[in-house]
């Protein structure tokens, strides 16, 4: 039975993901949130493929452990840049450090992400999930984009989510003052925002040799949401855990998108692991995306920085 288009993602999740044996030797890959889950598995696969990895992480000790692990197992170069994405100033500092130390950036993987069941605000006054999942990746990408263009051919991969299908983005209430905060919608809003900027940036990057794509890394066993209350953690660990998959599949899919020769010219698409898929209609609203771009530039200080 053929599923309606809006439910096609269920069938796609059962398809066998594509893989590539292409190596990444000599390529510099910047990846955020590589200390755990999806990001950790992607960093492992990239290290196995010979890439030089630069991990942008918030926790010094965790990052040092992963760095040591990857160097020991795969013998590749692995560097760490520290940044807490709840603070936009930290993202700017990380970008400054990346620009100062890496004359080439071949791949940027924006993976760091959170899911909160309760509304909190960052020190910058943004809703935390929106700030970490969207604003931080938006700012980092914009600050690095010229270096990526200089390094072309280069690729940007946004680790997004089927959670974008929950919706929740209201440009007039990004801090949820007028609505009751719901975790799934807060998460959905951040992922819709990220997708809208992918289409926008793909257009701006046309002809530069830099591609940008978004992907859903599968429903996998990671630490996401474990910052929430006891009930949530119990639900995730004891009920959901058994139906979730091994995040190795996510790492392999990210590697495919970063390395496969057949992906070199593909840009402005959403992938369910490696399967090209149509996102929810509300995430394809281009006029909304243009408004969001301007607001994101304002919120991250890009419009005043020039
Ligand atoms: N797991 C799934 O089934 C699933 C499904 C769809 C999409 N995703 C997406 O996959 C991505 C990775 O999530 P995951 O499932 O692998 O979760 P995870 O195991 O919790 O990993 C999240 C990563 O993001 C980092 N991070 C969190 N907050 C940060 C902050 N304020 N500043 C800097 N880094 C921060 C974490 O650092 P620490 O190690 O220091 O906490 C960790 O490295 C997210 O974008 C998520 O939305 C996951």
- Give the residue, out of 12, 31, 38, with the most ligand 1 atoms within 8 A of its beta carbon, to mutate for a pocket test: 38
pLDDT (tens digit per residue) in 63-73: 999 999 999 99
Q: Is 102 a catalytic residue?
A: no
Q: Tokens 């993987």 label which residue?
A: 109
Residue 238 has pLDDT above 70, yes or no: yes
pLDDT (tens digit per residue) in 122-176: 999 999 999 999 999 999 999 999 999 999 999 999 999 999 999 999 999 999 9
User: E strands within the chain?
Assistant: 28-32, 52-57, 78-82, 107-110, 154-159, 210-216, 270-272, 275-277
Closest CA to 196 of 174, 169, 177, 219: 169
- Give the residue, out of 12, 37, 129, 157, with the most ligand 1 atoms within 8 A of its beta carbon, to mutate for a pocket test: 37
| Ligand 1, atom nearest to 132 Cα | 31
Buried b (16+ CB within 10 A) or exposed e, 216-253: bbbebbbebbeebeeebeeebeeeeeeeeeebebbbbb
What tokens were used for 111? Answer: 């993976």
| Ligand 1, atom nearest to 220 Cα | 3
Atom 42, ligand 1: residue with shortest CA distance: 33
Cα-to-chain-centroid distance, residue 108? 9
Closest CA to 28 of 49, 4, 8, 3: 49
Interval between CA 225 and ligand 1 midpoint (Å): 9
């Amino acid at each position: 039975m053929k599923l309606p288009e809006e439910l096609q993602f269920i069938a796609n999740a059962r398809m066998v993901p594509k893989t590539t044996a292409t190596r990444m030797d000599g390529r510099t890959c910047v990846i955020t949130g590589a200390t755990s889950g999806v990001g950790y598995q992607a960093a492992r696969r990239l290290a196995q493929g010979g890439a030089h990895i630069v991990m942008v992480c918030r926790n010094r000790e965790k990052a040092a452990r992963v760095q040591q692990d990857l160097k020991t197992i795969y013998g590749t170069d692995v560097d760490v840049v520290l940044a807490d994405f709840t603070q936009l100033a930290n993202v700017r500092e990380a970008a400054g450090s990346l620009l100062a130390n890496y004359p080439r950036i071949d791949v940027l993987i924006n993976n760091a992400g959170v899911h909160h069941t309760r509304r909190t605000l960052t020190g910058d006054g943004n809703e935390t999930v929106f700030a970490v999942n969207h604003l931080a990746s938006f700012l980092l990408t914009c600050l690095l984009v010229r270096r990526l263009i200089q390094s072309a051919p280069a690729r940007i991969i946004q680790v997004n989510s089927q959670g974008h299908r929950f919706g929740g983005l209201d440009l007039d209430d990004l801090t949820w003052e007028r609505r009751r905060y719901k975790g799934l919608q807060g998460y959905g809003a951040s992922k819709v925002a990220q997708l809208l900027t992918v289409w926008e940036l793909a257009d701006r990057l046309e002809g530069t040799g830099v591609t940008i794509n978004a992907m859903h890394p599968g429903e996998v066993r990671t630490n996401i949401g474990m910052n929430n209350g006891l009930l949530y953690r119990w639900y995730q660990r004891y009920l959901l855990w058994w139906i979730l998959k091994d995040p190795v599949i996510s790492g392999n899919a990210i590697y495919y998108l970063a390395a496969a020769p057949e992906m070199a010219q593909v840009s402005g698409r959403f992938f369910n692991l490696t399967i090209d898929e149509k996102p929810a209609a509300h995430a394809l609203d281009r006029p909304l995306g243009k408004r969001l771009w301007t607001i994101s530039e304002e919120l991250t200080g890009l419009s005043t920085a020039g």
